[in-house]
Amino acid sequence: MEFIDPELLAYCEYHTSEEDALLKKIVRETQAKVLMPRMISGHLQGKILELFVKMLRPNTILEIGTYTGYSGICMARGLAEGGKLITLDINDELETMVRGFFEESGLASQIDYRLGNALDIIPSLEGPFDLVFIDADKFNYSSYYDLVIDKMPSGGIVLADNVLWSGKVLPEGRKKLDKDTEAILDFNRKVHQDSRVENSILPIRDGILMARKL
């Protein structure tokens, strides 16, 4: 997932505001107890998400893909006063761990953590969503985008993780075109061609797509 030279990455992380004790704990617990711990946002990306939110000061954030709560806590720290984060995940096996982290963060009252299929939950949410962070199953990225874009105001921001997909978005970066890679390619193309937004891909970690609704 890392495209930058490891020494340059270490330099960037060293010169990024340090993780606090809770975020370090989430990383440790995720690495020790959860399958595929590389899915966690981590230090550099987490702080970038936190700073984005602190600049935007959104009232409502929708996160699709909670995992172990690292990114959700980072974003919730930047909410406007009285704002809320709605975070969705399908893996109920992590619920106890994640709710514990949210309680420790002191932000549990601002975090609406829902379990279930996001494709079923999102249509029931009223919005508007000032910021949407998509970091779930890649096959449904385009479907998630379609479900949220009309529930966002002008100036609303969509962020989507893993849009460089370990380099497999380039032909030379893959051995074959699997369904997840194809889904990411379709999603990137879809957003880029959507006249309702302006967009860019940031080569941070595994790639973050940013789209601003016009």
Q: For 56-67, write each residue's pLDDT tens digit.
A: 999 999 999 999
- Would you say 98 and 66 are in contact if contact means Cβ atoms under 8 Å apart? yes
pLDDT value at 173 more than 90: no
pLDDT value at 50 more than 80: yes
pLDDT band at 106 (very low <50, low <70, confident <90, very high): very high
CA atoms within 13 A on the CB side of 94: 25
Average pLDDT of the chain to the nearest whole number: 95
CA atoms within 13 A on the CB side of 170: 6
pLDDT band at 134 (very low <50, low <70, confident <90, very high): very high
Residue that the structure tokens 């935007």 belong to? 56
Considering only 21-30, 75-84, 132-141, 168-177, which range has the smallest mean pLDDT? 168-177
Specify the pTM. Answer: 0.95
Q: How far apart are CA 132 and CA 158, in angstroms?
A: 5
CA neighbor of 114 nearest in space, from 106, 131, 104, 102: 102
CB atoms within 10 A of CB 117: 10
Considering only 61-70, 97-106, 175-184, which range has the smallest mean pLDDT? 175-184
* pLDDT at residue 78, rounded to an integer: 93
pLDDT band at 172 (very low <50, low <70, confident <90, very high): confident
pLDDT value at 191 more than 60: yes
pLDDT value at 87 more than 70: yes
* pLDDT at residue 1, rounded to an integer: 57
Mean pLDDT (whole number) for 96-121:
98
* pLDDT at residue 3, rounded to an integer: 66
Homologous superfamily in CATH for domain 6-213: Vaccinia Virus protein VP39 (3.40.50.150)
Mean pLDDT (whole number) for 183-199:
98
